[in-house]
Amino acid sequence: MEVVRVDYLVIGSGVAGLRAAIGLASEGSVYVITKDELKESSTEYAQGGIAVALSDEDTIGIHFEDTIKAGDGLCDEDAVRVLVNEGPERIMELISWGAEFDRSGTKLAFTMEAAHSRRRILHAQGDSTGREIERVLINKARNMPVIRKYSFAYVLDLIIIDGLCYGAYVLKDGQVEAILAQATVLATGGAGQVYLRTTNPAVATGDGIAAAFRAGAVIEDMEFVQFHPTSLFAPLAPQFLLSEALRGEGAILRNIHKEEFIRNYHPEGELAARDIVSRAIVSEMQRTKSRHVYLDITHLDADYIKKRFPRIYRTCLKYDIDITTELIPVCPAAHYLMGGVKTDTAGRTSIPGLFAAGEVACTGVHGANRLASNSLLEGLVFGARAAAEAVNSRISPMEVSPSDLTLPLSGDRIEDADEIRQAIRKAMWENAGIIRSSKSLSTALETINKWDHVLDKTYSTRYDNEIKNMLQTSYLIVTSALKRQESVGAHYRNDSPPEPHIP
């Protein structure tokens, strides 16, 4: 096994990973490990924008209150204060690095999204905010020679010796390498691929959470999975996210009969919190015996729609849907995991030497339900914080010898791998999705446990290890959901007292 020594290891290349790498670059050599292309992450696909209290009508205090309210009483208030207080500085930093957010004249342009009480959502190129932030961070990192990217490198497991994290075992070109580091920052994103319908990219298979769990890290709040209410539902089309900003700009939800329905479920209508809107859509689909509902933005000016949502307009047009004149078929999809590897506000996990930031981490900032567009901000703020703390708390891997490093690979392949992967995703979607119960969750767990033997090996292919991690992550979601017997935030159980706004 080849052994590579580096000062700092960052696993993941989304907004949190790149911001952490940039923060570490002044302190030593940095490896950024990513299992696909450098830019392939949920950041790349984030459309709506990034929330920050910078407009004249907004304050940090109001952003704080909106976040707390969305989190349904379970937010860590210290983490939320960090987010909203340091957010403006991180955004101005991005602008100084060349980020081009949309403007109205000379001023930054802000829009509204669900559950926000002010227009505080910055966007870029209308609906390509994540792509713009990724562009800026990648360019910044490329100008730092100490940052080395390691693309198409799959992290198999963390290196844990005597309770300390010394880096990770990586599979690259069919060979295992041990990368030793003074500090390791986990920024692998979420786990949307465990669900049949998801807006997440194919790389979001829960790898970081599963690896941290196997290493003994504390995992928290896995039952809180946020489903985006509106993803494109069309034959042969990808489950493309249709930004919350569409509803913020006035888009109307209609059922299969073209009737408005959302206010029958909640007085805030289309601008109610995501979990409420998602459940309302599912309830309406069940009532009308349909597989989707519609999103209608045809009452807005066509030129404005094309300018404000160019990416959405072009993507839908590829599938013969002109959103300026036609209703858009939509259905909810798994979108964001509020739980993950437990950290403090400095990014420290329960394992010395291991830090986490972004969607893979659980800082408590989102509570039971993430406020729209707080995720990119979280990646920036806590990516920077994790880097700072990694420098302060680094450990020395020099005493680790090659004899300490063992990770036997199984030459076996998972039998019926494709079928197992599909069965996991189907079981999670049908039984551990938007509306749950003890019975449905137990059914999901029974399905997952059928293949627990898969967890016993480390495989020589990325695909097989991804299935292993999907099983592990699904198990954590389902068992956490079974333990939390009350409905709260994104975790809704129809066998507990229902929330008043849902019939």
Q: Per-residue pLDDT tens for 418-468?
A: 999 999 999 999 999 999 999 999 999 999 999 999 999 999 999 999 999
9, two tokens: 């290891």
- Residue 175 has a CB neighbour count (10 Å cut-off) of 11
What is the Cβ-side half-sphere exposure of residue 473, based on CA atoms within 13 angstroms?
Answer: 33
As a whole-number percent, the residues of the chain with pLDDT over 90 amount to 83
* pLDDT at residue 411 in the model: 83
Beta bridge partners of 488: 491
Taking the CA atoms of 431, 216, 200 and 114 in sequence, report the sign of the dihedral they define: positive
CA distance 119 to 292: 29
Highest mean pLDDT among 6-15, 35-44, 113-122, 241-250: 6-15
> Between 499 and 350, where is the model more confident?
350
| pTM check: above 0.85 | yes
Domain extents in the chain:
2-48+123-223+338-402, 230-333, 408-483
CA distance 141 to 34: 14
- At 162, the pLDDT band (50, 70, 90 cuts) reads very high
Arithmetic mean of pLDDT, 243-247: 86
Least confident of 2-6, 220-224, 406-410, 483-487: 406-410
Catalytic residues: 274
Q: For residue 234, is pLDDT > 90?
A: no
Beta bridge partners of 231: 241, 331
Q: Each residue of 269-298: b (16+ CB within 10 Å) or e?
A: bbbbbbbbbbbbbbbbbeeeebebbbbbbb
CA distance 241 to 131: 14
Mean pLDDT of the chain, nearest integer: 93
Q: In what order do the strands lie in the sheet with 219-220?
A: 219-220, 340-342, 361-362
User: Domain 230-333 belongs to what topology?
Assistant: Flavocytochrome C3; Chain A, domain 1 (3.90.700)
- At 169, the pLDDT band (50, 70, 90 cuts) reads very high
408-483: which CATH architecture? Up-down Bundle (1.20)
Q: Are 369 and 224 in contact (CB under 8 A)?
A: yes
Q: 3-class secondary structure for 327-377?
A: CEEEEEEEEEECCEEECCCCCECCCCCEEECHHHEECCCCCCCCCCCCHHH
Arithmetic mean of pLDDT, 125-130: 78
* pLDDT at residue 142 in the model: 94
CA distance 353 to 376: 25
Arithmetic mean of pLDDT, 71-92: 97
Q: For residue 502, is pLDDT > 70?
A: no
What tens digit of pLDDT does each residue of 306-341 get? Answer: 999 998 999 999 999 999 999 999 999 999 999 999
Domain 2-48+123-223+338-402 is found in CATH 3.30.1050.10: no
Q: For residue 47, is pLDDT > 70?
A: no
Q: For residue 244, is pLDDT > 90?
A: no
264, two tokens: 């029958």
* pLDDT at residue 114 in the model: 76
